[in-house]
Structure 1
Amino acid sequence: MSHHATAPAAGTAAPPAPGYRWVVLGTATFTQAAACFFVQGIGAMAVPLQDALGLGVTQLGLLLSASQLVPLVGLVAAGELLDRFGERWVVGLGAGVVAAGLLAGSLAPGYGSLLAVLLVVGAGYSTIQPGGSKSVAAWFAPAQRGFAMGVRQAGLPLGGALAVAVLPPLATAYGWRSALLAGGLVALAGAVAFAALYRRPPGVAVANHGVPKGSSERIGPIADRLGLLREPAVVRALLSGLAMVSVHSGLGVLGALYLHDATSLGAGAAGAVLVASQLAGMLGRIGLAAWSDRSRAGRYRPVLVSMAAAVAGLLALTTPLGHHPVGAAALFTWLGFFGIGWYGPWVAHLAEAAPPGRTGLALGLVMAVNQAAVVLAPPALGLLRLGRPGRRHRRDRGPHRPGAAG
């Protein structure tokens, strides 16, 4: 590590004290929640969007996929940028792009424009997950890293819970564009907070956290970068991530519609169930990640437990229990805890599996591969749902009935 690289950041009298890690954790969690606020609320806005724009289920799935499409490439680019330039401005500017896209989207004339806006949002959001994870991993020692990662990752279900509670009634009262305006303002607050408050840990290099500029560890051929995907720990994270992000995406985009169709819950009651599942996911990310700090079997054991629990919950949804309002609510809460909570220990496992100086690249690369499931799961699930004609026709016969809207 070069000694000149440890100089304080511009405008800072001295490096921040180790206790500043809690400020970093709070800031990263808030920025995560703020940046994902609108996107996590799209599924809960299914009925208002259907009624306002005349959308089918597959079109709703495409809306969620649109915000996740650019990260297929953007996450890898974000990982490179994070290793080269650090987290502060890469994450701050990314959240700013999310805000700008949503604010512009509040002027969108219709469905096509909304799709285009969400592509822009996806480009900015590409920096948030790997950047926030890398910032927390840099500040926390292994004994606390899982817990800290879990708290930071809880920002996503926290943002989702707030979005489910706020956006549908806002869209119903003032129109769907008002929801984009609110999402843009919230994302802007996250961007400003991260740029203003984040600092590097004491003694950490400006470029690539200790890897000298020009080092082959930082910049290498494409084949060398893809070689990270052959690391056993990275392969485990990749395969489990592909499976579990499909569960999370399905809950987000089709949860409200499933509850409406299978249990006859109105939009308000279905929204309450989704809020409960997101809050359970928030607790799961913290609790399962904290468990990984103490698990003698390693950080990956809580991920395996979460996968088994998610399979059990999905199978239970196909039984009569899943068609009863109380039973379905309990199962959605279970799926929230494990089907969303798995990400806390998973991302801590992945960050520690990365080679020195390449944490950003490893996070971005694996998250980019996982994006395939994020992008394909919502429209695929929508097509499966369309293959069930009885329920589709029930919705199609009365999209403007009071029961359909709330």
Structure 2
Amino acid sequence: MSAGGFTFRTRRYRWVVLGVATFTQAASGFFVQGIGAMGVHLQRDLNLSTAQLGLLLSAAQLVPLVGFLVAGELLDRYNERWIVGTGACVVAVSLGVGSMAPGYTSLLLVLLIVGAGYSTVQPGGSKSVASWFDASQRGLAMGIRQAGLPLGGVLAAAALPFLATAFGWRVTLMAGGLVALLGAVAFMCLYRRPPTQSPAPHGAEPHASPASGLGARLRTLREPPMVKIVLSGMSLVSVHSGIGVLTVLYLHETTSVEAGTAALVLVATQGAGVAGRVCLAAWSDRSRSGRYGSVVTCMVAVTMGMTALTTPMGHSPAAACLLFVWLGFFGIGWYGPWVAYVAESAPPGKTGFALGLAMAVNQIAVILVPPVLGLLKDLTDSFVPAWSLLSMMTVVALTVTARGERHHRRDPFRHRTTA
């Protein structure tokens, strides 16, 4: 690969980069994505309430609230090969140590450290793919790469409950650590920057501007593209979290589906999310409504699905299973076009920070929503308030962004410099 441009060989290598970024994403999120499928086992073995189970899911998401911002800054200055690889190693080592944790509290601490390592993988992999693909294929590439998270969830939902039943929850942590280690090694061995990105002194990002203060960068949250990114992202990531923590419990308690069968439905739901991330992102490459139009479609679709769960239809095992597959396609699949929209809305040389900032804001919902949903379920002994809360959040975000879009169309030149 020469520095002179994208030769045939380098165009082929971008698919290697896409493959390894997707694999590392799946491997790093493998264990955390499987916690929902292990809900019945963890509640039984550790004597947990639904709220405690939700807090366990949130623990791995707490550190990325700040970690994404730090990772974004590092990614704009240094080679993502080492930033992502080191983070995946932290995930692997933490889970290995966690397999010796004495109980629930220690497991919470382990997952906090896992979250610190994972903070680099999500924005780092996204920036890696964005730098190798141009706009004509970036949506498809981002969709494939972002499919790594639900793909890891599919594999985890299939494997971890089996391992937990046969060998106990400690073995599941060790398995998660080994998988994360494979992802770290693969990324550090195979990832290279595109030849048009010549390394700056000491590995710094050529276009990064460290002089711009954090306060100035955070003010981008008020810009119209970022407002849409934040509101849609927080509502849809809340839906994704709800799917992860409630699917198995809902099917088991409301429709009397066996725990093993309910875990398989979660596998199918995650599989639908994999397909959604690829298909919806590829559609956003060609759609006249653009990237954000695909995100809006997802917001409408998940509202319909969750509303249906609160009706008698949601008590039918067959109908409920189909509804969760629907929610998986749109409620997990939204992330592909959304992250491509974030990357394309970023100022030059600030892609890493923009991705980190958007993902950090999403973390607020990722942290708060699972325990809140679990607490609602414990207090009301019903899933209806949980689904209703998620529906309301999505409708509010959809309404606010739709009004903002109409205002922007009436005054299209007002924010030209921010697009």
TM-score (norm 2): 0.88
Residue 254 of structure 1, aligned match among 236, 242, 246: 246
Which runs of 5 or more structure 1 residues have no equivalent in the other structure?
Answer: 8-13, 392-406
Give the aligned residue type for 2:222.
R
1:342 aligns with 2:322: no
Residue 92 of structure 1, aligned match among 79, 85, 90: 85
Shift of 1:231: 2.5
Residue 128 of structure 2, aligned match among 129, 135, 138: 135
Give the aligned residue type for 1:180.
L
Question: 1:205 aligns to what SS in structure 2?
Answer: coil
How many residue pairs were aligned?
Answer: 380
Residue in 2 that maps onto 1:395: none
Residue 370 of structure 2, aligned match among 360, 370, 378: 378
Deviation readout 1:71-116 (Å, 9 max, x if unpaired): 0000000000111102100000000000010000011110011000
Question: 1:85 aligns to what SS in structure 2?
Answer: coil
Question: 1:84 aligns to what SS in structure 2?
Answer: coil
Residue in 1 that maps onto 2:39: 46
Residue in 2 that maps onto 1:107: 100
Question: 1:150 aligns to what SS in structure 2?
Answer: helix
CA distance in structure 2 between the partners assigned to 1:210 and 1:181 by the alignment: 35
Question: 1:127 aligns to what SS in structure 2?
Answer: helix
1:70 aligns with 2:63: yes
Does the 8 Å CA contact 1:15/1:202 hold for their aligned counterparts? no
Does the 8 Å CA contact 1:204/1:210 hold for their aligned counterparts? no
Residue in 1 that maps onto 2:296: 304
Structure 2 CA distance for partners of 1:230 and 1:205, relative to 1, 3 Å: farther
Residue in 1 that maps onto 2:356: 364
Does the 8 Å CA contact 2:76/2:204 hold for their aligned counterparts? no
CA distance in structure 2 between the partners assigned to 1:265 and 1:328 by the alignment: 10
Residue 168 of structure 1, aligned match among 142, 145, 161: 161
Does the 8 Å CA contact 2:78/2:205 hold for their aligned counterparts? no
Question: 2:198 aligns to what SS in structure 1?
Answer: coil
Give the aligned residue type for 2:26.
A
Shift of 1:126: 0.4
1:203 aligns with 2:188: no
Residue in 2 that maps onto 1:401: none
Counterparts of 1:5-84 in structure 2 under 5 Å? 17-84=10-77
Residue in 2 that maps onto 1:351: 343
Residue in 2 that maps onto 1:235: 227
Does the 8 Å CA contact 1:86/1:207 hold for their aligned counterparts? no
Which runs of 5 or more structure 2 residues have no equivalent in the other structure?
Answer: 384-419
Structure 2 CA distance for partners of 1:17 and 1:106, relative to 1, 3 Å: same
CA distance in structure 2 between the partners assigned to 1:332 and 1:169 by the alignment: 22
Residue in 2 that maps onto 1:394: none
Question: 1:299 aligns to what SS in structure 2?
Answer: helix
Give the aligned residue type for 1:348.
A
Structure 2 CA distance for partners of 1:19 and 1:68, relative to 1, 3 Å: same
Aligned CA RMSD, in angstroms, stands at: 2.0
Shift of 1:51: 1.1
CA distance in structure 2 between the partners assigned to 1:308 and 1:110 by the alignment: 41
Of all paired residues, the percent bearing the same amino acid is 64
Structure 2 CA distance for partners of 1:232 and 1:96, relative to 1, 3 Å: same
CA distance in structure 1 between the partners assigned to 2:33 and 2:344 by the alignment: 27
CA distance in structure 1 between the partners assigned to 2:205 and 2:260 by the alignment: 52
Deviation readout 1:124-159 (Å, 9 max, x if unpaired): 000111001000000001000000000000001100
Shift of 1:211: 5.5
Give the aligned residue type for 2:199.
V
Residue in 1 that maps onto 2:380: 388
CA distance in structure 2 between the partners assigned to 1:210 and 1:127 by the alignment: 16
Deviation readout 1:281-321 (Å, 9 max, x if unpaired): 00000000000000112110000000000000000000111
CA distance in structure 2 between the partners assigned to 1:157 and 1:60 by the alignment: 20
Question: 2:76 aligns to what SS in structure 1?
Answer: helix
CA distance in structure 2 between the partners assigned to 1:370 and 1:204 by the alignment: 29
CA distance in structure 1 between the partners assigned to 2:81 and 2:40 by the alignment: 38
Shift of 1:18: 2.5
Give the aligned residue type for 1:73.
V
CA distance in structure 2 between the partners assigned to 1:306 and 1:356 by the alignment: 28
Moved more, 170-179 or 15-24: 15-24
Structure 2 CA distance for partners of 1:389 and 1:345, relative to 1, 3 Å: closer
CA distance in structure 2 between the partners assigned to 1:153 and 1:191 by the alignment: 17
1:179 aligns with 2:172: yes
Residue in 1 that maps onto 2:402: none
Deviation readout 1:309-368 (Å, 9 max, x if unpaired): 000000000011111110000000000000000000000000000000000000001110
